[in-house]
Structure 1
Amino acid sequence: MSEIPTDGQMTWKVEGATDTALHLRHHPSEPWQPYEDFPEYFLPDPREFSKGYATFLALLKKGWKAV
């Protein structure tokens, strides 16, 4: 996780989706993708955490924005 861009965006609920897992994109013009599609950012979650929460916290610390 050391060479991660600092200007990405994150969301928990993509419009039209039924799941509430973390989704990511690098630029506002890109479509949202599940966080698992970014193995370079993916962090495993403890059993009691929401799906993607560990990755969310790490990216938030790197300057990513929650949308």
Structure 2
Amino acid sequence: MSEIQTEGQMTWKLAGSTDCALHLRHNSSEPWRPYEEFPEYFLPDPKEFSKGYATFLALLKKGWVTV
């Protein structure tokens, strides 16, 4: 996690999707991708947490924004 970009965007639910899990992109010109596709950022979640919550908190501390 030490090599995390300090800019990026995160969202929990994509338009038209019923899946509620963290999605990431580095900038608005990129498509949203599930957080699992970013092994350099991925952190495992405790069982009772939402899918991607540990990764979300770590990226939020690095300056990523929620869209």
Which TM-score band applies after superposition, normalised by the shorter structure? Answer: over 0.9
CA deviation vs aligned residue, 1:9-51 (integer Å, no higher than 9, x gap): 0000011222000000001011000000001100000000000
Letter paired with 1:61: K
Runs of 4+ deviating beyond 2 Å: none
* Identity in percent: 81
Q: Which has a greater percent of strand?
A: 2
2:57 is paired with a residue whose SS is helix
Take 1:66 and 1:19, find their aligned partners in 2: how far apart are those partners?
17
Partner of 1:63: 63
Partner of 1:16: 16
Take 1:38 and 1:64, find their aligned partners in 2: how far apart are those partners?
14
RMSD over aligned Cα atoms: 0.5
Structure 2 unaligned spans of 5+? none
Matched ranges for 1:33-52 at <5 A: 33-52=33-52
Structure 1 unaligned spans of 5+? none
Question: How many residues were matched structurally?
Answer: 67
